[in-house]
């Protein structure tokens, strides 16, 4: 029997007002593994009301006490890491080692944000007047709408939930309809650890119905969204005056200079391009190689890629799992056809695999020019392109020639190359001698240009995203003191 999940509102499983459900598939074999509620506007209203009521008490809990609960969440996640990693592989298709890494990210961010419960720093500053104190404090926003994608189904909700909780907010979460089981288990663990019922609520369903209502709802004070640029634009146009955080993807380059350690670069490209089957906003989808080592690296990359084993993500021998769904397969294959029409040379891959499951061969194009669509648009699959350049300046120009600016990498032994790259590349994250993936939770994550709206997640920036600043003035002079040198004769 396939389990039917309810919405999770005020700690209880509830049926949707629509009385309809949708299916969740295992992307490896296309079998139905669960059913979830197809939510409506009424369901969102119930969740927002529950979150509003819970916020009053949760925001009054001292932040260090909230931190203790977050630390307990991390402890439970550690105990259930294997179980949750397997769930990720089953529901999302990520190979088991990466599924376990996804859970570890959640552990890390809850541990880090638990510590913020004893910080949540404001700052003090001298007043321009005698006997007057000036400082700032951080306060919760209220109810936060959290909308998350399927590619990191535990880590990304955790990246948003942990700072939102430590700041004293309550949450209405809409997880991706491809991976709601992972989000459901995470929220249950949060409540088991001591988060009061109603502080985190889950409403599942379509983006057009549930997601849009969260974005527009007048009682929701903040939105945190990770997903496509087109939906990000919808959020911007419809959220009103809410505080909004957006992370909208990338077209991330790895530059390989003529002095690079090619074996190290090869390992980075393989992991960066084909890890998570290329379904990362930080995936290494453009490989920009100096002409002196281009042919050698091209041959190395094709040889290594052709040996990657695509298959069941739960098997230890598998290197690359399935794409998330059939639409993703069609999208990736459409870009393969686009690349061919653009006269790029297909070196390997470019084909669907099997009749069951959403598998696609790791794909490499060469003879690619920077303006080709396959070099400009986010494919979000196991496809990367090789672009030849003559020097570092040209490489940086190619890096910066796209609309996105999330992550960028350079492989070089020359410290001048490294620092010039860091200075000039248009990205929110820069790596030297490492691929474009590998963010750590105590540092800000996010990008520039069409990658988002300038907000960052994780680290102290995560606190800023989910809180607001209150400035406090205390005058203990016993007199009316006037700032800015104003003179006012009051009788």
Q: Where are the domains of the chain?
A: 7-248+452-472, 252-432
Give mean pLDDT, residues 77-103. 97
- pLDDT tens digits, residue range 182-214? 999 999 999 999 999 999 999 999 999 999 999
Q: State the Cα–Cα distance between residues 229 and 157, nearest whole angstrom.
A: 19
Task: Give the mean model confidence (pLDDT) for residues 287-312.
Answer: 98
pLDDT tens digits, 40-64? 999 999 999 999 999 999 999 999 9
pLDDT score of 333 more than 70: yes
Handedness of CA 286, 109, 113, 465 (dihedral sign): positive
Determine the Cα–Cα distance for residues 257 and 389; give it in Å rounded to an integer: 9
pLDDT of residue 485: 76
Average pLDDT of span 148-162: 97
> Could you tell me the two tokens for 299?
């041959």
How are beta strands 200-202 and 222-226 bridged, if at all? unpaired
What is the pLDDT at residue 483? 81
Higher pLDDT, 116 or 355: 116
pLDDT category at 1 given cuts 50, 70, 90 is confident
Render pLDDT for 423-466 as a digit per residue (tens, 0 to 9).
Answer: 999 999 999 999 999 999 999 999 999 999 999 999 999 999 99
| Residue 187 zone, left/alpha/beta (φ > 0; ψ -120 to 50; rest) | alpha
Q: What is the mean pLDDT of residues 400-427?
A: 98
Active-site positions? 247, 281
Residue 365 has pLDDT above 80, yes or no: yes
Q: Decide if pLDDT at 290 tops 60.
A: yes
Distances from the Cα of 199 to the Cαs of 47, 165, 212, 221, 325, in angstroms?
10, 8, 21, 14, 32
Q: Per-residue confidence at 488, pLDDT binned at 50, 70, 90?
A: low
- What was the pLDDT predicted at 490? 60
Share of the chain above pLDDT 70, in %: 99
- Nearest residue to 450 (alpha-carbon basis) of 488, 400, 391: 400
Give the pLDDT score at 489. 67
Residues 56, 171 contacting (CB under 8 angstroms) = no
pTM: 0.95
Tell me what pLDDT residue 491 has.
55
**CA angle (364 as vertex; 359, 366 as ends), nearest 5:** 160
Q: What is the pLDDT of residue 307?
A: 97
Do residues 329 and 352 lie in contact, with contact meaning Cβ atoms separated by under 8 Å? Answer: yes
Q: How far apart are CA 293 and CA 158, in angstroms?
A: 41
Is CATH 3.40.50.300 the right assignment for the domain spanning 252-432? no
Phi, then psi, of 197 in degrees rounded to 5: -65, 140
What average pLDDT is seen over the chain?
Answer: 97
Q: Looking at residues 290-309, what average pLDDT do you find?
A: 98
Extract the tokens encoding 324.
């998330």
What pairs with residue 386 in β-bridges? 287
Q: Which CATH number does the domain 7-248+452-472 belong to among 3.10.20.70, 3.40.605.10, 3.30.830.10, 2.40.30.10?
A: 3.40.605.10
- How many Å apart are CA 241 and CA 216, to the nearest integer? 10
Percent of the chain with pLDDT strictly greater than 90: 97
């Amino acid at each position: 029997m396939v389990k039917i999940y309810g919405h999770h509102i005020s700690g209880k499983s509830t049926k949707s007002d629509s009385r309809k459900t949708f299916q969740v598939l295992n992307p490896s074999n296309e079998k139905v593994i669960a059913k979830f509620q197809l939510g409506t506007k009424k369901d969102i209203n119930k969740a927002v009301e529950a979150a509003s009521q819970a916020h009053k008490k949760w925001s009054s809990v001292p932040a260090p006490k909230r931190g203790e609960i977050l630390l307990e969440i991390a402890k439970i996640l550690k105990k259930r890491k294997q179980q949750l990693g397997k769930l990720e592989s089953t529901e999302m298709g990520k190979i088991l080692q990466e599924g376990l890494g996804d859970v570890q990210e959640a552990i890390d961010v809850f541990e880090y944000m638990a510590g913020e419960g004893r910080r949540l720093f404001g700052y003090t500053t001298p007043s321009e007047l005698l006997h007057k104190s000036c400082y700032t404090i951080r306060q919760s926003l209220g109810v936060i709408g959290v909308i998350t994608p399927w590619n990191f189904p535990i880590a990304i909700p955790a990246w948003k939930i942990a700072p939102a909780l430590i700041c004293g907010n309550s949450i209405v979460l809409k997880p991706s309809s491809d991976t709601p089981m992972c989000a459901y288990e995470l929220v249950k663990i949060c409540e088991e650890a001591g988060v009061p019922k109603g502080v985190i609520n889950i409403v599942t369903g379509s983006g057009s119905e549930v997601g849009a209502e969260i974005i527009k709802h007048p009682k929701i004070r903040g939105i945190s969204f990770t997903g496509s640029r087109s939906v990000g634009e919808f959020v911007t146009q419809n959220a009103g005056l809410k505080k909004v955080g957006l992370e909208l993807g990338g077209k991330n380059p790895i530059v390989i200079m003529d002095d690079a350690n090619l074996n190290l670069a090869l390992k980075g490209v393989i992991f960066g391009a084909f890890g998570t089957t290329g379904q990362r906003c930080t995936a290494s989808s453009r490989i920009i190689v100096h002409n002196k080592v281009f042919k050698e690296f091209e041959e190395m990359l094709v040889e290594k890629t052709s040996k990657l084993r695509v298959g069941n993500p739960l098997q230890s021998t598998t290197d690359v799992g399935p794409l998330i769904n059939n639409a993703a397969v069609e999208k990736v294959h459409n870009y393969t056809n686009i690349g061919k029409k653009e006269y790029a040379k297909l070196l390997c891959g470019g084909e669907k695999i099997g009749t069951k499951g959403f598998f696609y061969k790791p794909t490499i194009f060469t003879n690619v020019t920077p303006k080709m669509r396959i070099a400009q648009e986010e494919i979000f699959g196991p496809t990367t392109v090789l672009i030849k350049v003559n020097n570092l300046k040209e490489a940086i120009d190619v890096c910066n020639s796209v609309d996105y600016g999330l992550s960028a990498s350079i492989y070089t032994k020359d410290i001048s190359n490294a620092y010039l790259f860091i200075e000039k590349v248009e990205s929110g994250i820069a790596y030297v001698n490492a691929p474009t993936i590998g963010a750590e939770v105590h540092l800000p994550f996010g990008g520039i240009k069409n990658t988002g709206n300038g907000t960052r997640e994780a680290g102290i920036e995560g606190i800023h995203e989910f809180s607001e600043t209150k400035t406090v003035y205390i005058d203990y002079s016993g007199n009316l003191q006037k700032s800015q040198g104003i003179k006012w004769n009051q009788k």
